[in-house]
Amino acid sequence: MVDRSTSIPGNQIENDSVKQDELDITNIPSDGQFLKVNMPTGDFTAVDAPSIVDLTAIVAVNQTNIVLNAFRIAVDASRSIFNMVDGIVDYFVDETGIDTVNSLNEDYDSVNDLYSPASSGGLSTSPYAHYKCNDDAANTTVTDDGTGSNNGTGNTNTSNYSVAGKINKGFEFNGSSDYIDITDLYTDIASDTTGSFAFWYAPDTGANGEILAFCEGGTGSNLDYFRIKTNASNTIQIQIANVDTQTLYANIDTTLTYAFKRVPF
């Protein structure tokens, strides 16, 4: 025990306690010791203060409480609780959208704080045809990267179409005589009543011109056709129709800008 005595003026004692800022002690006891102060009315003993380790633990607890309070505030404010794969809450978002990384393209809802299996993404595991149009060779083969082996045939070598893109390569047609002839697919799709397709396209002008055309289902007046074309009004038109009745089973007419667009259908 260290016994250090000091006198304290009476005007520095209020309500039987010493005013803390007026107590001047030159030599502060080390950790594990305590201070004994002799006063006219008796002894005042100062207890040990918490060590640095104790203070660190207190700070850590306070930080944990702050995180928990943030969690409660987020829930009370109907903010979405965003859980990563490890199951730990990482941060909160206040929007509705699609998580394309960890939830298989499921919708998340900022009001109900949940994921719902409302949508799925990516190509089918067995598409009828998938043309990347990145061929660049001294032959006319346009490779089908799908599962149907429905290779196309260009009117010239694919090296004459090929241009560099931001990612991989693509085809650039001259707008008049270039085309790709694709094998009839009616034996694959004749019995199907549903389906989808998507393509990238960048129009150079607004002039009329079919950019893709399939026909199947009879000949002459009984012919059903499928086509994609551009119109003079700078729109792209997708049609599934019957030649005889002029019936449009599906028709999309959408304005395009002169830049690459991904068109799903």
pLDDT, residue 93, reads: 44
Residue 137 has pLDDT above 90, yes or no: yes
Mean pLDDT across the chain? 62
Kindly state whether residue 128 falls inside one of the protein's structural domains. no
**Contact present, 105 and 99 (Cβ < 8 Å):** yes
243 and 169 in a common domain: yes
The pLDDT tens digits of the residues spanning 42-90 come to: 554 555 555 444 545 455 555 555 555 555 555 555 555 555 444 444 4
For the chain, the DSSP string reads -EE------GGGEETTEE-GGG---SSPPPTT--EEEEETTEEEEEPPPPPHHHHHHHHHHHHHHHHHHHHHHHHHTT-EEEE-TTS-EEEEE-S-EE--SSSTT-EEETTTTEEE-----S--SS-S--------SSS-EE---SSS---EEESS-GGGTEEE-SSSEEE---SSS--EEE---HHHHTT-S----EEEE--SS---EEEEEEEES-SGGG-EEEEEEE-TTSEEEEEEEETTT--EEEEEEEE--SS-EEEE-
Within a 13 Å sphere around the CA of 37, how many CA atoms are in the beta-carbon half? 18
Question: Residue 231 has which token pair?
Answer: 């119109």
37 and 79 in a common domain: no
pLDDT, residue 167, reads: 78
What is the rounded distance in angstroms from the CA atom of residue 108 to the CA atom of residue 100?
Answer: 11
79 and 7 in a common domain: no
Q: Strand 141-142: give its sheet, edge to edge.
A: 141-142, 152-154, 180-182
Other C-beta atoms lying within 10 Å of the C-beta of residue 238: 18
Residue 118 has pLDDT above 50, yes or no: no
Kindly state whether residue 134 falls inside one of the protein's structural domains. no
Query: In the predicted model, what is the mean pLDDT of residues 138-156?
Result: 88
57 and 31 in a common domain: no
122 band by pLDDT with thresholds 50, 70 and 90:
low
Query: In the predicted model, what is the mean pLDDT of residues 155-173?
Result: 89
238 and 196 in a common domain: yes
Domain that holds residue 23: 2-46
146 and 66 in a common domain: no
pLDDT, residue 27, reads: 53
98 band by pLDDT with thresholds 50, 70 and 90:
very low
Kindly state whether residue 147 falls inside one of the protein's structural domains. yes
Residues contacting 186, CB < 8 A, separation 6+ = 216, 217
216 and 199 in a common domain: yes
106 and 83 in a common domain: yes
77 and 18 in a common domain: no
Kindly state whether residue 131 falls inside one of the protein's structural domains. no
Kindly state whether residue 231 falls inside one of the protein's structural domains. yes
195 and 145 in a common domain: yes
Query: In the predicted model, what is the mean pLDDT of residues 197-209?
Result: 67
Kindly state whether residue 242 falls inside one of the protein's structural domains. yes
Kindly state whether residue 192 falls inside one of the protein's structural domains. yes
What is the rounded distance in angstroms from the CA atom of residue 145 to the CA atom of residue 32?
Answer: 77
High-pLDDT (> 90) share of the chain, %: 8
Kindly state whether residue 90 falls inside one of the protein's structural domains. yes
> What's the total number of domains in the chain?
3
192 and 77 in a common domain: no
172 and 219 in a common domain: yes
